[in-house]
Structure 1
């Protein structure tokens, strides 16, 4: 009984619209108003941005793979020549030393800036401040 209803429904139903296969064919079926034009513009711009970022990502991924291969080849060359690769502790110590040197340089620059600022403020005092 249900099968007969389904057959009758499919045989008497109006034909469905074909699903658009592209964005342009979808736009042809839409009404032409400001909102639909804006949505179409935003959709196209976002899709072009997505394609651009995907290409950038794939390029960066390819470069990273190439760099990984080069690093592996260099490490192998160092080991073949009798050298040794730095371990994690040595890398951590070198990183800590670099951070301390950077912090020291930043402190020195800040002290120089403060001293220079103190000198320039003394020179710019007006007549009233000298009288008081």
Structure 2
């Protein structure tokens, strides 16, 4: 049950991040491009990332909450967070990094125990 609750918590966080950004995707993109305008990252990289990020967060969050393709979703979620840590470093947003590190910690710890503790999941139901 503890694995399920931790999976649900981190999945809900990712799902929520993506969900609230979807209706305002162009505004979110404009905000992110503006935030990175003085960074080393070119707008040609920031713009597509800013559109892909909410979609990726939403999709990965849904998969983690459902426990579907859990191993892949936890890995993808970790890569999303690692890219956000890199981006936060590029704009010296040191305040955002602890939250991103906590997400990575949750995701990677869940990944370690996924095979043996992912009892309440669609993955488990489809393996029977």
**TM-score normalised by the chain length of structure 2:** 0.26
Q: Which has the higher contact order (CA 8 A, sep 6+)?
A: 2
Instruction: Flag the structure with larger Rg.
Output: 1
TM-score by length of 1: 0.26
